[in-house]
């Protein structure tokens, strides 16, 4: 595995764990850190040992936002030429299931990073929000888009315009968070779920993910056509043969991702 300066990584059985590691600044996301996160996710996406990727934070927070010191003196042309959010676009191309395990703060870019994952588990003490408006800017790495798709226009505008923080309970009630967990059990419960998910047939999980994300953007008819083609495609897999044989033979299937 590549050596990184701002994240720590390891594989637990077939679960890859990426830990944000700038605890002295509450894991504020600078450009190098974002590049490292995306690079690690892409490496694990290609790694046949890995079936699920978990993203978490060290210290007191998941990520308290972008590193403002790094961008305070930027101008529009600098950001355009630098292509500030190109790395973030690569997150949407990850094929394997991704789970964010959030404790402490997930604000601004930290919230955007959590929302870029497929599932979001949160400690009951976690706080979420987009405070960008309070410093004269707005989310730029997908915050306005992902939040609106999750909770609708009017609720999204309320949170984005005020810059207020929402509790884990509020985020759960809005459909942003999948599970709210006691802080001391967050990592354990996230890994328990990840290992359960890792036992599912990898190709089915991958194509289900593709179809669900198409449902967000496609019309119902277009989405159903995409779903149908993925359904047909799985009948060319060894896992489909194994899964149906195991069902008929009343035994547990042994999925290989083929």
User: pLDDT for 110-130, tens place per residue?
Assistant: 999 999 999 999 999 999 999
pLDDT at 26 over 90: yes
User: pLDDT for 35-79, tens place per residue?
Assistant: 999 999 999 999 999 999 999 999 999 999 877 877 778 888 888
Residues identified as active-site: 66, 109, 112, 132
Q: In percent, how much of the chain has pLDDT > 90?
A: 86
CA distance from start to end of the chain: 24
Number of Cβ within 10 Å of residue 235's Cβ equals 9
- Angle 25-91-217 from CA coordinates, rounded to 5°: 125
Distance between CA atoms of residues 200 and 243, nearest Å: 10
163 against 76, higher pLDDT: 163
Mean pLDDT for 155-177 is 97
User: pLDDT for 3-23, tens place per residue?
Assistant: 899 999 999 999 999 999 999
User: pLDDT for 95-110, tens place per residue?
Assistant: 999 999 999 999 999 9
């Amino acid at each position: 595995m590549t050596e990184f300066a701002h994240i720590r990584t390891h594989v637990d059985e077939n679960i890859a764990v990426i830990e944000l590691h700038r605890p002295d600044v509450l894991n504020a996301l600078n450009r190098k850190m974002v590049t490292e996160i995306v690079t690690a996710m892409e490496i694990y996406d290609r790694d046949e040992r890995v079936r699920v990727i978990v993203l978490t934070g060290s210290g007191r927070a998941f990520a308290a936002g972008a590193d403002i010191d790094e961008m305070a003196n930027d101008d529009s042309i600098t950001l355009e030429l630098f292509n500030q959010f190109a790395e973030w676009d690569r997150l949407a191309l990850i094929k394997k299931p991704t789970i964010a395990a959030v404790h402490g703060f997930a604000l601004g870019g930290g919230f955007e990073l959590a929302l870029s994952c497929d599932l979001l588990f949160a400690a009951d003490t976690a706080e979420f929000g987009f405070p960008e408006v309070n410093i004269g800017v707005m989310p730029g790495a997908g915050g306005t888009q992902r939040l609106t798709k999750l909770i609708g226009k009017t609720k999204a505008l309320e949170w984005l315009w005020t810059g207020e923080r929402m509790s884990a309970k509020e985020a759960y009630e809005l459909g942003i968070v999948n599970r709210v967990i006691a802080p001391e059990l967050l990592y354990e419960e996230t890994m328990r779920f990840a290992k359960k998910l890792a036992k599912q047939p990898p190709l089915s999980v991958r194509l289900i993910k593709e179809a669900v994300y198409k449902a967000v953007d496609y019309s119902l008819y277009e989405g159903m056509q995409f779903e149908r083609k993925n359904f047909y495609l799985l009948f060319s897999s060894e896992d489909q043969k194994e899964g149906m044989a195991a069902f008929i033979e009343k035994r547990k299937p042994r999925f290989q991702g083929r």
